[in-house]
Structure 1
Amino acid sequence: MTILSVTFFSACTDDDSFGTNRSDILTFSTDTVNMDTLFSTVPTSTYNFWVYNNSGDGIRVRKVRLQRGNQTGFRVNVDGEYLDNALGSQVSDIEIRKGDSIRVFVELTSAMNNSDTPQLVEDNLLFNLESGVEQSVCLRAYSWDALLCDTVVIKKDSVISGNKPIVIRRGLSVDSGVTLTINAPACLYFHDGAGIDVYGRLIVNKGNVGNDVVFRGDRTDRMFDYLPYDRVSGQWRGIRIHSSSSGNYISNADIHSAEYGVVCDSAAYDPLTSRLTLENVIIHNCKGTGVETNNSNVSIVNSQITNTLGDCVAIHGGSALIVYCTIAQFYPFSADRGAALRFTNFKGEYDYPLHALECYNTLVTGYAGDVVYGETKDTTVAFSYYFANSILRTEKPDSNMINSGAYSNIIWETPKDTLQGKGHFILIDEENMYYNFKLDSMSTARGNAMPIGQYLTDRIGKDRGDIPDIGCYQYVDPKRLIVFPR
C-alpha cells in the first residue's frame, strides 16, 4: 500500500511540474483567426481556436493580452476568463499542463471606418510565457461601413444606388402607387426572415447589362471552413409581388440563397398588363421556389434559375413568355427537390387558366430523369403551352402530342446521355456548393437555338451571333479569352 501511494504521489508531482525551459512553447490550432468581411458596428459570430501544450513540461502563461488593447474592438475569452478592457485587455497566470489544452474565443465589433471599401482591422493576441518567450496569434477582419436599416417602408417614388452596402434587419416594403428603383452597384443584405414586399412597383437596374444588383443574406461568415453562409439556402426571405402590384421589372440582378426568389401573387388576369418581367437575372439556391407566378402575365428572358428545394420555375395559370433561359435543378441539400419547370392551370383548389406558356431557346435540365411537369386538374380550363428550340429533360411525348403543334425542334434529354444534365455546364461542385452554369464545350445546347431579333446578347451582354446557343449564356471558347495580368 505504501509503495502504491508513493508511486501515485510521484506521478502527480511529475504531471504538475512547470518549467521555464525556453524550448517548451505552446502550439496553436491556427496562427491567424480570419473573420473575412464584416459590417462595421455589427457584432460578429464567435470564432475559436485551441492552445496546446505538447512539450515535456507544464507551461505557465504569465499574461495573455491584446497588443493594441481596446483600440480594435476585438473581444477575447481565454479558458473562461474575459480580457476586460478595464484591466488592460489582458488576463494573467494561466497554467497549461503538459498534454493539456485550453480554448480561446474571439468576437469583434468594429468601429465605423468612414470608407466606401472594406478596411483591414488587425490585432495580435500575445501569450507571454514564464520562460520569457512571447508567442502570438493574429486576429484579422475586414470592416465595411454599411447603411444599417431596421424596417424600411417606401412611401414615395425613390431610388437606391451607390457603393455602400445596405443591411436590412426586418424587411423592405413598397407602398401601393409608389415605385422603388434600385440601380447598380447597389448590394442589399437581408437578415434572416427579412425580404421585400412589393405593393406598388419595383424597377431593378434596367439597361445595366453586366453589372448586377445583388440581393443576398447578411451573414458574411462561414458555416464550415469551405462553406460560406452565402452559399447556404434560406438566409433571407425573398421578393414577393403582392396582388396590388404590376409593371415590375427586375433586370441585371443576382438573387440568391433566399427562402424563395420571386413570388408573384394571384391577381385578376389582364393579358395587356405585365405584372413582372425578369431579364438577365440570376435566381439561385433557394429553400423554396425560384420563381412562382400565379394567374399573372409575366416574361422571363435571358435568366438563370437554378438549384431550389421547391420548383425552379412554377407557372400557375395566366401567361408566361420564357426566352433564352437556363433552368437547372441541381439543388444539393435534399433529394426531395421540386421540378425544374412546372406549369399548371390551377393552384390548390383554385382554377387558374393557363392562357399561354411560350418557351423558346431554353435549357431545362436537372438531376432527375424528368424535371418538366405539366399538370391539369380540369380539362375544361385553358391549358395552352408551346415549346420551341429548347432542351427538355423529360420523357418524349407520343406522336400525337408531338404532332399537336405544342413542340417544335426539341432536344429530348435522357439521363443516359453523359453530355447532358450536369455535362452541359462548366462546373457542378456539390461538395463545395460551387456552380458555374455557363456552357461546356461539349453541351448539346451549342448552336441549337433559333435567332430572335430582339434578343441579340446573352445574360452578361455577349453577342449571340448568327448561331446562338440554347440557354442564357452563349458559349465562350476559353482559348479566345483575353486575360489581363494583375
Structure 2
Amino acid sequence: MRPITLLLFIGILISVCSCRSDFETTASTGDLTFSKDTIYLDTVFTNIGSSTYRLKVYNNSKNDITIPTIQLAKGLNSKYRMTVDGMQGNNGKIFSNVDLLAKDSLYIFIETTANIADANPADFLYTDQIQFDSGVNLQKIELVTLIQDAIFLYPKRFADGTTETLPIGDEKIDGFFLDENDPVNGNELHFKNTKPYVIYGYAAVPSGKTVTFDAGSRVHFHANSGLIISNTASINVNGAVSTTDKLEKEVIFEGDRLEPDYSDVPGQWGTIWLTNGSTNNTVNHLTIKNATIGLLVQNNDGTTVNIKNTQIYNCANYGILAQTAKINGENLVINNAGQASLACSYGGNYKFTHCTFNNNWNSSEQVAVFVSNYITGAVPEVKDLTAATFNNCIIYGSYSTEMILKKKTGAAFQYQFNNCLLKFDNISNTFTTNPDYQFGTDTAHYNAIILNKDPKFYKVSQNKFNIDDTSAAFAKGNSAYLIPLDIIGNTRTLPPDLGAYQNKPFPK
C-alpha cells in the first residue's frame, strides 16, 4: 500500500502546484510607468513609412495585472500602428486585456505612414495618443510626427512589372531621364526651394541639357540612388551664403532617412556622377552628406568643373573621386571617407585653393588626399597628370600620414603644394629617401610647408572645421593665392589663414 499512497501524494502535490497564481490578475489601477511620456517619430515624407520607435511599459506593483485596453486615441482611423509584446491586436490599433506580471515590463513598437493632408496645416504635425485603460485609470503617451510634403522623382513602372532603366556601359541600372515637360512635376531640370525632392533610382540629365538647383533647395536620395550628368549635359548648383544655422540658402544633397540616428551614417545613397563628356559644370554652396561617393568626376570634356564653397561629409568611399578630370576647387571642406576624402586619380588637371581636406575615418587605411597618374586594369593604364596644385590648404586627419602620391612612368606627374599644412609623419624613416616627399628641400614641388602641426579645428566630430588664432594654420597663407571671402562669407585678412575658414573666436 505504501507505493500507492506515495503515488497518490505525489499526484495531489502536482495538482496543487499546477494551480499557479500567474494567471490570476487584478485590473490595472492606472499606476503604469513608461520609458517616455512623448514619442517623437521625427520627420517623415508624405506617404513614406517611418522608422520603428520603442516604448517600454513597466508594472512596478507586486500584483499581476490586466490592462483592459491599449489603443490609439484615433482608433482604427489612426495613421500610427503598434505591436504590443509581439501581438498585432486589431489592425495594430486596439489591444484588449493585455496581461503584465508583477515587477515586469512589456514593449510597444510604433510606426506611422501619413499624408501631408493628415497633418495640422499650421505646423504640419500629425499627432495621436497611446491610451492605457480609461476613465479614472486612463494614462496617455503622446505621439508626434512632422510630415514634409515633397516632390517624388522615380523610374516608371510598366504594365508588365518591369521598371525603367538607364544604360551604363554594358549594364543597366534603375533610373530615368529628368523631363523638362513632365505632365505632373513640370520642369524636372529645375530644382526649386519650395518643397524638398526625393529621388528613387538614378536621375539622369539628358545630353545637351542643364539641371539647375536654386539656393535653398533640398534633395534626398533613396538607397542606391543618385544623379547622373550625361555627355554634353551640365549641372549648375546656385547655392549662396546662409545667415542662420538652418543653412537656408545652402543646397543640400543627402539621404532620405531623416531620423537623427541617420544624420551621419555613410553610404546611404550613391553619388553625383559627372560622366565622360559632361560640360560647363558649376557648383557653389553645396553640402553633400552620407553618400557612397560624394562627387564622381570622370574625363569631362576639357572644360573646368568649378566647385566652390562646398562641404562633403561621411562618404563610404570617397568625398570626391576624380579620374582624368579638370577641377578648380575653392573653399572646399571634405571630411570622413572610407578611402580618401579627395582622390585625384588617373591623371587630370587640378587646382585647389583655401581648402580643408580632413579624414577621421576609423581605419588606418584612409587618407585625406590621394594623387596618382594611373589606374589598374584600364587601357591605357597611365594618363598625364598635368597639374595637381594645392595652395593655402590644410591636409589633416586622425592617422599619421594623410597625403599619398602614387605615380608610374609613361605619363606626366606634375604636383605642387604651396603654403599648406600637411600631416605626414615619416614613421621609421620610410619616406626619407623618397624623392616625392622632400618637403624641406624640393622647392619645385613644396613651398612653405607646415608639417604635423595641429590646426586645432573647432569640433571635428560635428564637421566644424573653423579655426581660431591658436591654430597652426593661423596667418600662414600666401596672399598671392588669396580667395577674398571664406566658405561662410567672412572676409580674409592678410596674411590669410590656411584652409576654408577665416579664424574667429570659438563659441563658448
Q: For residues 338 and 442 of structure 2, what CA distance do their matches in structure 1 show?
A: 34
Q: 2:394 aligns with which of 363, 366, 373?
A: 363
Give the aligned partner of residue 242 of structure 1. Answer: 275
Cα deviation, 1:234-255, whole Å, max 9, x if unaligned, reads 0110111110202111110000
Q: For residues 206 and 150 of structure 2, what CA distance do their matches in structure 1 show?
A: 24
Gaps (5+ residues) in structure 2?
A: 1-5, 156-175, 181-186, 243-248
**Alignment of structure 1 residues 240-319 onto 2, 5 Å:** 240-266=273-299, 270=302, 273-274=303-304, 276-316=305-345, 317-319=347-349
Which amino acid letter does the alignment assign opposite residue 123 of structure 1?
Answer: D
Give the aligned partner of residue 131 of structure 2. Answer: 126
1:392 correspondence with 2:422: yes
For the structure 1 residues 336 and 99, does the alpha-carbon distance in structure 2 shift closer, same or farther, using more than 3 Å as the test? same
TM-score between both structures, scaled by the size of structure 2: 0.82
- State whether residues 115 and 145 of structure 1, in contact with CA within 8 Å, keep that contact through their aligned partners in structure 2: no
Question: What is the Cα deviation at residue 8 of structure 1?
Answer: 8.2
Cα deviation, 1:281-307, whole Å, max 9, x if unaligned, reads 001110011111111211111010111
1:326 correspondence with 2:356: yes
Which amino acid letter does the alignment assign opposite residue 15 of structure 1?
Answer: D
**Alignment of structure 1 residues 155-304 onto 2, 5 Å:** 155-156=179-180, 158-199=189-230, 200-205=233-238, 208-210=240-242, 211-222=249-260, 228-266=261-299, 270=302, 273-274=303-304, 276-304=305-333
1:154 correspondence with 2:182: no
Question: What is the Cα deviation at residue 368 of structure 1?
Answer: 1.6
- State whether residues 264 and 294 of structure 1, in contact with CA within 8 Å, keep that contact through their aligned partners in structure 2: yes
Give the aligned partner of residue 104 of structure 2. Answer: 100
Structure 1, 98-107 or 187-196: larger mean CA deviation: 98-107
Q: Secondary structure at the match of 2:267?
A: coil
Q: For residues 277 and 242 of structure 1, what CA distance do their matches in structure 2 show?
A: 15
For the structure 1 residues 439 and 11, does the alpha-carbon distance in structure 2 shift closer, same or farther, using more than 3 Å as the test? farther
Which amino acid letter does the alignment assign opposite residue 220 of structure 1?
Answer: L
Give the aligned partner of residue 111 of structure 1. Answer: 115
Cα deviation, 1:85-142, whole Å, max 9, x if unaligned, reads 6x9x42212222223333222111112248999622111111117x951122221111
**Alignment of structure 1 residues 13-24 onto 2, 5 Å:** 13-20=20-27, 22=29
For the structure 1 residues 36 and 448, does the alpha-carbon distance in structure 2 shift closer, same or farther, using more than 3 Å as the test? same
- State whether residues 118 and 145 of structure 1, in contact with CA within 8 Å, keep that contact through their aligned partners in structure 2: no
Give the aligned partner of residue 225 of structure 1. Answer: none
- State whether residues 304 and 327 of structure 1, in contact with CA within 8 Å, keep that contact through their aligned partners in structure 2: yes
For the structure 1 residues 168 and 26, does the alpha-carbon distance in structure 2 shift closer, same or farther, using more than 3 Å as the test? same
Q: Secondary structure at the match of 2:98?
A: strand
Structure 1, 106-115 or 352-361: larger mean CA deviation: 106-115
Q: For residues 353 and 159 of structure 1, what CA distance do their matches in structure 2 show?
A: 36
Cα deviation, 1:255-279, whole Å, max 9, x if unaligned, reads 01100110111356x3xx21x1210
- When the two structures are aligned, how many residues end up with a matched partner? 452
* Cα RMSD for the two superposed structures: 2.7
Give the aligned partner of residue 55 of structure 1. Answer: 61
For the structure 1 residues 132 and 237, does the alpha-carbon distance in structure 2 shift closer, same or farther, using more than 3 Å as the test? same
For the structure 1 residues 12 and 286, does the alpha-carbon distance in structure 2 shift closer, same or farther, using more than 3 Å as the test? farther
Q: For residues 198 and 205 of structure 2, what CA distance do their matches in structure 1 show?
A: 17
Question: What is the Cα deviation at residue 54 of structure 1?
Answer: 2.4
Give the aligned partner of residue 488 of structure 2. Answer: 460
Q: For residues 468 and 352 of structure 1, what CA distance do their matches in structure 2 show?
A: 35
Structure 1, 156-165 or 321-330: larger mean CA deviation: 156-165
Percent of aligned pairs with the same amino acid:
26
- State whether residues 204 and 249 of structure 1, in contact with CA within 8 Å, keep that contact through their aligned partners in structure 2: yes
Which amino acid letter does the alignment assign opposite residue 41 of structure 1?
Answer: N
Q: For residues 404 and 395 of structure 1, what CA distance do their matches in structure 2 show?
A: 20
Q: 1:438 aligns with which of 455, 466, 482?
A: 466
Question: What is the Cα deviation at residue 46 of structure 1?
Answer: 2.1
